[in-house]
């Protein structure tokens, strides 16, 4: 197989990310130094992000039958790299006092990022499966990285076992679709989905099994039961990476698969996705109402948010790609901020994260900067105007209105109203005062650290995108619109 110079250039984000993993590995073999390893990782991820911007002029490029590097894949590659950069930066302060090896975290993160880049570029089942496993397997170890803490080890084992079952479903579904079509490419399945599914039991079962596997990775109801436990047990930076980059990569490949295979031409598939969307919105919001653990609350919230995204996918019209892309960008910066506050409040590692709601009580009077970030994050997650979350939800609703999905939009409105309650409950807690409570804490010095810059930058982006979203919309229209 011969690669042209244009194809190699198109692959440069993937190649740079892979080279950064090798560079970090060699650095660790030469000398273990936490700050050096974290710096090299951040340098490699930034270099891959710059490469993503630079190669936009040479795409689209088909690189083997497995990968398609185009504006769609480059946009989501950029989101994955931004989430990974935040996870790397926040982990440096978080792991500083962890009693164990520190450098392996960055190796696992780098390998997972490589898998995510492969996944969003996939147009073939082989590329999908390789990318998904490269993305997921390192995350098992990252979730259990603070293994001396019982709930972290439990979360890692639980996620590994359930994810392995989901991968088995996915692989079996691919095999059945291959048996029915004789091809592993997404586009090659289009003739199958243009016929009636009633006469094609292999296609029905195969697509259903694939949907189960991908829905698990996205924590779509009813395949969401792992989410709150894993989010609670994982270190805060890992939970943030799992909620952002990992899910963004899976949703992107699901969207490409549905569009390339013309699966949305089947009414039964549209109804199935509609039911999953409604169930995710209701289950996620209802179960979040009584949560007193911030990480569990954000876990249930993520179930609802990916239900909202499914509404845009079900709409399947000219606004779908734009709505999904903007919503994921807004969700990325918002989730980085929210989990970033939990991470910084828990830094350095103290055996257990400061993730209980009472840990945030009166935080305004002790750490006003973190309180500002968390407040804006909750407003954005609730979809309050002047935040990125509002614009993202507006596009999802607009896509649903154009497709006349009235019952789904009714569920979305009810779910958003429930979400408003528990997001505001977190905000109110930040400003409460208890008798005898100290108004000031010793200076934390977080404002001068990279993690503080990350959460403040994410908060600024939330507000900028909420007030002036046009530059991002222009980028999305150039990148992901067909």
The pLDDT value recorded for residue 84 is: 95
Give the separation between CA 417 and CA 426, rounded to whole angstroms. Answer: 15
Q: What is the pLDDT of residue 435?
A: 61
Nearest residue to 331 (alpha-carbon basis) of 134, 230, 465? 465
CA distances, 402 to each of 82, 310, 316 (Å)? 32, 15, 10
Q: Are 184 and 126 in contact (CB under 8 A)?
A: yes
Give the whole-angstrom CA distance, residue 481 versus residue 476.
7
CA distance 32 to 136: 25
Q: What is the pLDDT of residues 376-434, one digit of tens each?
A: 999 999 999 999 999 999 999 999 999 999 999 999 999 999 999 999 999 999 988 76
3-state helix, strand, coil in the chain (%, to 5): 75, 0, 20
Q: What is the pTM of this model?
A: 0.94
H or E segment and range at residue 19: helix 12-30
* Residue-wise pLDDT tens digits, 291-340: 999 999 999 999 999 999 999 999 998 899 999 999 999 999 999 999 99
Q: What is 254-296 written as a DSSP string?
A: HHHHHHHTTGGG-HHHHHHHHHHHHHHHHHHHHHHTT--BHHH
pLDDT below 50 — which residues of the chain? 442-443, 445-448
Q: Dihedral (C-alpha) 476, 267, 214, 123: value to the nearest 10 degrees?
A: -60
| Cα gap 361→332, rounded to integer Å | 25
Helical (H) or strand (E) element with 431: helix 406-431
DSSP class of residue 102 equals: -
| Predicted pLDDT at 1 | 67
Q: For residue 413, what pLDDT is reported?
A: 95
Return the exposure string of 301-328: e unless at least 16 CB atoms fall within 10 Å of the residue's CB, then b: bbbbbbbbbbbbbbbbeebbbbbbbbbb
Residue 59: name the closest of 48, 72, 69, 50 by CA.
69
Rounded-to-integer distance, Cα 202 and Cα 180, Å: 6
Domain residue spans of the chain: 7-479
CA distance 288 to 303: 10
């Amino acid at each position: 197989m011969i690669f042209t110079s244009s194809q190699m250039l198109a692959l440069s984000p993937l190649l740079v990310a892979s080279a950064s993993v090798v560079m970090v590995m060699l650095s660790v073999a030469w000398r273990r130094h936490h700050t050096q390893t974290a710096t090299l990782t951040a340098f490699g991820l930034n270099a891959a992000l710059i490469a993503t911007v630079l190669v936009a002029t040479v795409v689209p490029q088909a690189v083997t039958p497995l990968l398609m590097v185009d504006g769609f894949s480059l946009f989501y590659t950029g989101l994955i790299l931004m989430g990974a950069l935040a996870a790397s930066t926040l982990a440096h302060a978080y792991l500083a006092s962890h009693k164990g090896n520190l450098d392996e975290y960055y190796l696992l993160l780098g390998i997972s990022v490589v898998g995510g880049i492969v996944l969003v570029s996939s147009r073939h089942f082989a590329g999908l499966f390789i990318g998904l496993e490269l993305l997921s397997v390192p995350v098992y170890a990252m979730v259990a990285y603070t293994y001396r803490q019982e709930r972290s080890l439990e979360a890692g084992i639980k996620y590994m076992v359930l994810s392995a079952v989901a991968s088995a479903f996915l692989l079996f579904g691919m095999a059945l679709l291959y048996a029915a079509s004789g091809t592993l490419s997404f586009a090659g399945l289009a003739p199958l989905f243009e016929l009636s599914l009633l006469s094609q039991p292999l296609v029905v079962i195969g697509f259903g099994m694939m949907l189960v596997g991908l829905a698990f990775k996205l924590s779509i109801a009813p395949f969401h039961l792992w989410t709150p436990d894993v989010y609670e047990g994982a270190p805060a930076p890992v939970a943030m990476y799992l909620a952002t980059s990992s899910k963004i990569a899976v949703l992107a490949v699901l969207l490409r698969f549905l569009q390339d295979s013309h699966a949305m031409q089947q009414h039964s598939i549209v109804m199935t996705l509609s039911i999953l969307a409604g169930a995710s919105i209701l289950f996620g919001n209802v179960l979040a109402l009584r949560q007193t653990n911030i990480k569990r609350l954000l876990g249930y919230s993520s179930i609802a948010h990916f239900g909202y995204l499914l509404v845009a996918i079900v709409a399947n019209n000219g606004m779908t790609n734009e709505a999904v892309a903007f919503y994921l960008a807004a969700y990325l910066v918002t989730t980085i901020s929210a989990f970033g506050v939990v991470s910084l409040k828990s830094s350095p590692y103290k055996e257990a994260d400061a993730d209980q709601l009472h840990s945030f009580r009166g935080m305004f009077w002790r750490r006003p900067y973190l309180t500002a970030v968390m407040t804006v994050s909750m407003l954005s997650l609730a979809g309050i105007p002047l935040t990125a979350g509002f614009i993202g939800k507006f596009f999802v609703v607009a896509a649903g209105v154009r497709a006349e999905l009235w019952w789904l939009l009714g569920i979305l409105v009810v779910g958003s109203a429930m979400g408003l309650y528990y997001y505001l409950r977190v905000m109110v807690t930040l400003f409460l005062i208890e008798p005898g409570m100290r108004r000031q804490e010793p200076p934390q010095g977080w404002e001068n650290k990279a993690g503080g810059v990350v959460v403040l930058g994410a908060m600024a982006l939330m507000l900028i995108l909420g007030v002036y979203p046009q530059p991002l919309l222009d980028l999305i229209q150039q990148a992901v619109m067909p």
